[in-house]
Amino acid sequence: MAARVLIIGAGAVGAVTTHKCAEFPEIFSDICLASRTLSKCDAIAKQLKRPIKTAQVDADDAKAVVKLIKEFKATMVLNLALPYQDLSIMDACLEAGVDYVDTACYEPLDDNRYSYKWQWPYHDKYASKGIMALLGCGFDPGITNVFVAYAKKHFFTSIETLDILDCNGGDHGLPFATNFNPEINLRELDAKGKYFKDGKWIEIDAMSQKQTFIFPEVGQKDMYLIYHEELETITKHFPEIKQARFWMTFSENYLMHLKVLKNTGMTGIKPIKHQGQDIVPIQFLKSVLPDPATLGPRTKGKTNIGCIITGITPTGKRETRYIYQICDHQETFKEVGSQAVAYTAGVPPVIGAALMAQGVWKKPGVFNTEQMDPDPFMEIMAKFGLPWKVLEFYELPH
């Protein structure tokens, strides 16, 4: 059945999602793009080859979202606003009785310890209404989780270790810019590093563990262990995993800027008084940093995001596979007018939504992507612009 999709959030990622949905009218028959600022929705709508509706909405207000869902007669909502809006949009979908998809787990505005503990409890309410919420269906989280489910289904009877590797080998030529929302990105990097080992979470100082890795089609990069939300869901859904880590590449220049911003208090998330007014330092910082949506024309190079997974094969051998996806910044800019980081985050919710709309991934309740059958997703990734590869590989040093 063709879906009437309401996309909320007209930022860097939402723009890609809207472009992609528009490319598949046989799946997404009608599209409405809504955001806090209507002019951003209208600017994206103008770039498309077919007409869509646009609307202004404050997604913190669940009643306003319900009203919009009903007016547009949406059958599903894709949440590409910020993680702070996850719960109000989930509440709205529940009240209106429509499916929900997002790409990042909820985090409270004044606390950057994000966790699925706020969204998982919606499971029974969604199940009893016969509707589905697909959580964290971006690239990481999202496709990385699907890669793990695929490895478990096709290569291993049990998984022992997992390393998720996120590399942006692109260069925008600016002294400092983040590739997606600066506030969300810097909150993530400001937190302590954390990984899972032998049933326990081990906390380390931020950026204190580094490995050098040669990324296919990108080259050699330093990558640092950080905590990332899919570690919480993957270790829950694959309880046999002994060690799970997440690595992201950063240049020395990026880390130097990060250190200075942190040391000067600019990444703070609590309000401070400035000339008699309350301001949140990181929100002010977001206003002065380049908007990630403007990086498209100037970014060259490729991203490579993937999973190195070691497990026991059905014949009892211990083997390792590396499943990864490469995206070229200039190619994605040519296709949808956005750089590859926004592209790799904005396309997966479209794939998830397409499978839900077609009934292939449709289950009442609240699910992470690794809980669904990975095959239909992996089969259509290339058609949606995200081809992937799998290699026999070696385990990363522990």
CB atoms within 10 A of CB 50: 9
Nearest to 346 by CA among 308, 292, 388: 292
Rounded CA separation 116/366 (Å): 11
**Contact residue for ligand NDP among 169, 281, 292, 306 (CB under 6 A):** 292
DSSP string, 54-66: EEE--TT-HHHHH
13 binds ligand NDP (CB under 6 A): yes
Between 10 and 90, CB nearer to ligand NDP: 10
**Contact residue for ligand NDP among 3, 5, 7, 12 (CB under 6 A):** 12
327 binds ligand NDP (CB under 6 A): no
Question: What is the amino acid identity at position 327?
Answer: C
Terminal Cα-to-Cα distance of the chain (whole angstroms): 47
Between 310 and 341, CB nearer to ligand NDP: 341
**Contact residue for ligand NDP among 28, 100, 106, 180 (CB under 6 A):** 180
Rounded CA separation 206/258 (Å): 11
CA torsion, ordered 344, 349, 352, 353, to nearest 10 deg: -140
Between 14 and 306, CB nearer to ligand NDP: 14
374 binds ligand NDP (CB under 6 A): no
Question: What is the amino acid identity at position 24?
Answer: F
Interface mask toward ligand NDP for 33-72; x: CB under 6 A: --xxx--x----------------xxxx------------
352 binds ligand NDP (CB under 6 A): no
The pair of structure tokens assigned to 363 is 């289950």
Between 89 and 390, CB nearer to ligand NDP: 89
Nearest to 374 by CA among 159, 149, 102: 149
Between 99 and 230, CB nearer to ligand NDP: 230
Q: How far is the CB of 180 from ligand NDP (least distance, A)?
A: 3
Between 144 and 243, CB nearer to ligand NDP: 144
Between 169 and 311, CB nearer to ligand NDP: 169
**Contact residue for ligand NDP among 66, 75, 114, 141 (CB under 6 A):** 141
Binding segment toward ligand NDP, per CB under 6 A, in 25-33, 180-188, 234-242, 330-338: 180-188
Between 311 and 385, CB nearer to ligand NDP: 385
C-alpha atoms less than 13 angstroms from C-alpha of 326 in its C-beta half-sphere: 12
Binding segment toward ligand NDP, per CB under 6 A, in 68-76, 107-115, 138-146, 271-279: 138-146
313 binds ligand NDP (CB under 6 A): no
103 binds ligand NDP (CB under 6 A): yes
Q: How far is the CB of 95 from ligand NDP (least distance, A)?
A: 17
Residue 73's alpha-carbon distances to 29, 44, 225, 366, in angstroms, are 12, 21, 44, 22
Residue 8's alpha-carbon distances to 30, 88, 143, 199, 291, in angstroms, are 14, 12, 21, 37, 18
Rounded CA separation 352/373 (Å): 11
Judge whether 312 and 156 are in contact, CB under 8 Å.
yes
Binding segment toward ligand NDP, per CB under 6 A, in 79-87, 151-159, 330-338, 371-379: 79-87
Measured over the CA atoms of residue 242, residue 159, residue 191 and residue 62, the dihedral's sign is: negative
14 binds ligand NDP (CB under 6 A): yes
The enclosing H or E element of 330 equals helix 329-336
Chain position whose Cβ is nearest to ligand NDP = 11
- β-strand pairing of 277-279 with 318-328: unpaired
- Residues of the shown chain interacting with ligand NDP in the complex, contacts defined by CB under 6 A: 8-14, 35-37, 40, 57-60, 80-83, 85, 103-104, 138-142, 180-181, 184, 292-293, 345
